[in-house]
Structure 1
Amino acid sequence: MGVTVQLSERLRTIAGMITEGNRLVDVGCDHGYLPVYLISEKKISKAIATDVGKGPLARAREHIAKYNLGEYIETRLCDGLSGINPGEGDSLVIAGMGGPLMEKILSANWETTDSFQELVLQPQSDIPHFRKFLMENGYSIIEEKIILEDGKFYPMMKAVKKKEQESWTVEELMFGRYLLAEKNPVLHQFLLREMNIRKKILTSLRTAETEEALRRRNEVEEERQLTQAALDSYES
């Protein structure tokens, strides 16, 4: 197709997690950068780009038209997966949303969700709970990445359907089993930052005596201990 599409490191990393030759469904596509890149690089065969907002979808259509890829990328205005039928895609990407919203999108129509070969997900919040949610609903996380871009950490994961439910430790749910196992250097930066944050919170709560403050102090101390255990694993 002879075009060069520039992607952020975050989207480039997500693109690298998608199985070559698959049909993509990109929920919350924004400008449509990801499907345009993947089609232009001949990494996927076709794509459906969706968004709940008319503005973002209009920008995606402009971007798709700029590269003359309308034959390969269809756009749909819909909330989550509400406009996608089971079997229309092989790879589902949902990125840049809070974990609770992503849980809502995935669970709103399990028939469609479960029809994908793989889910490539980049939750922005409540990540330990999100990992647990996937496992409790029959998914296995098989790949994890984390990047630091413009001062923000972006953890990503690929999940597939699995009959046997997995069991991860609290530490693995917090920080990612594969990231910990490979002693990922970006995760190490994240852990150092989290440790500093927890120490500052504990210092501010040191003299607090209310029931709520004591509860919060115990909670943060538990998080500090988990973070320290993860950091210690880098030394072994």
Structure 2
Amino acid sequence: MRSDMLSKRLRTVAHMVTRGNRVCDVGCDHGYVSVYLVKQGISPGVLAMDVRKGPLGAAREHVAEYNLEDRIETRLSDGLHNYTAGEAQSLICAGMGGKLMRRILEEDADKTASFQELILQPQSGIEQFRRFLRENGYLVQEEEILEEDGKFYQVIRAVPTGNQTVRAAYGQSVRIRWEAGEKKLPEDELCKLEDRYGAINLNKKTTVLLSFLSREERIYGEILESLRDNGLTDERRQDRYEQISTCLLDCRRVQAVLTESVETF
């Protein structure tokens, strides 16, 4: 399978897998990542699982097309329900909302903790999902933010630590010096920003992250303008306005720090 047959997003997911690990791909859809992992020599074998019979059937056909039935097993499963701990070292869970991903990991917490690493690509609710990982003892060791076809994606590689809570800095030795005027931001504010954007992403200071922040700034500005145009007499509108105003301030604060030193590729 040629690398150009897989999207940039899914290639990023696949290449976060530790080479030589067996993989469990939850929500495998048509099995493209599973086939890619084996064809590229990244994984010796993959368990491709999906809750839907249709996509799983397509995955089975795709596996057969490449004669990989002895390397890739397809299995009907809602999350990790039909997975047995120890069948794989790496878990892939990509292309679904953060809430659904969290449910999958929580419903079979012991099975989740049995993996050496989790490769995760939540489509939404990313700040809340990172907080969930941190508060449940998962250490983010690698992450990427990328843009493809006008959309931004974040991919995370996390490992279980056995600790109840992991620091917001995710074990990084370098912390961004966020500043509000003359004062350094308090730890809870740092934690919130790192959950939202990713501590590793922030330390990389890539142009992709800056593009993402610019889009966020524009969107927040448009929401505030719309709220003002429709009046702020309603208490719910006022609360929403304050919430978005805070998000805009945070976004601009991060932009100000990152533009001091940008790593270009």
State the Cα distance separating 1:166 from its structure 2 match.
2.2
Letter aligned with residue 243 of structure 2: E
Please name the residue that 1:125 is paired with. 124
Please name the residue that 1:194 is paired with. 216
Q: Deviations over 1:51-108 (max 9, x none)?
A: 0000000000010000000000000001000010111110000000000000000001
Please name the residue that 2:188 is paired with. none
Q: Deviations over 1:183-236 (max 9, x none)?
A: 022111111000001111111222321100000000001100111111111222
Alpha-carbon distance between aligned partners in 1 of 2:146 and 2:63, rounded to the nearest angstrom:
27
Structure 1 unaligned blocks of 5 or more: none
Please name the residue that 1:50 is paired with. 49
Alpha-carbon distance between aligned partners in 2 of 1:112 and 1:211, rounded to the nearest angstrom:
44
Runs (4 or more) in structure 1 with deviation over 6 Å come to none
Please name the residue that 1:217 is paired with. 241
Alpha-carbon distance between aligned partners in 2 of 1:133 and 1:189, rounded to the nearest angstrom:
26
State the Cα distance separating 1:4 from its structure 2 match.
3.5
1:96 aligns with 2:74: no
Matches within 5 A, 1:73-222: 73-164=72-163, 165-168=165-168, 169-206=191-228, 207-222=231-246
Alpha-carbon distance between aligned partners in 1 of 2:71 and 2:81, rounded to the nearest angstrom:
21
Q: Is the 8 A contact 2:136 2:166 kept in 1?
A: no
Alpha-carbon distance between aligned partners in 1 of 2:167 and 2:242, rounded to the nearest angstrom:
25
- Cα RMSD (Å) of the superposition? 1.1
Please name the residue that 2:9 is paired with. 10
Instruction: Give aligned pairs, total.
Output: 234
Q: SS state of the match for residue 38, structure 1?
A: helix
Letter aligned with residue 167 of structure 2: S
Letter aligned with residue 226 of structure 1: D
Matches within 5 A, 1:13-52: 13-52=12-51
Please name the residue that 2:173 is paired with. none
Q: SS state of the match for residue 140, structure 1?
A: strand
Please name the residue that 2:253 is paired with. 229
Q: Is the 8 A contact 2:51 2:76 kept in 1?
A: yes
Q: When the two structures are superposed, what TM-score results if normalisation uses the length of structure 2?
A: 0.86
Q: When the two structures are superposed, what TM-score results if normalisation uses the length of structure 1?
A: 0.96
Structure 2 unaligned blocks of 5 or more: 169-190, 261-265
Alpha-carbon distance between aligned partners in 1 of 2:155 and 2:207, rounded to the nearest angstrom:
15
